[in-house]
Amino acid sequence: MLIPKKSKFRKQHRGRLTGKACKGNTLIFGDYGIQALEPVWLTSRQIEATRRTLVRYIRKTGKLWIRVFPDKPVTLRAAETRMGGGKGSPEYWVSVIKPGHVLFELKGIPKDLAIEAVKDASYKLPIKTKLIYNLLEGE
């Protein structure tokens, strides 16, 4: 699973999931991509499950790029603890995803296989997604 090697601070504020993605909303490396249509915190486990599904389809012919990285720690308090006593310890890592952000990119596979791979991979994600592709390569 993906986690940062080192972070400057152990705990972060939660933040807000408003707005649309300004950066990372176009294809850069591949011909096909999975684009998010809803805001979400994507956990490192969900990213890994989706990556495994895509790798099963592309085999050795294609290439896969993961465009998201879980760099936000999520803290949890122990169950049935009283109020006070500070913030809980970091439990897992998430990536903040806003609508329009490209999550994964694929290259080197036919369009029909890419459609099938993206369809299967989208079941692993907790949000609605869509397939995007370059007009030059995707037709």
- Which alpha helices (DSSP H) does 21-134 contain, by range? 44-58, 111-122
Q: What is the pLDDT of residues 101-138, one digit of tens each?
A: 999 999 999 999 999 999 999 999 999 999 999 876 54
pTM of the full predicted structure? 0.91
Backbone torsions φ then ψ of 70, nearest 5 degrees: -75, 100
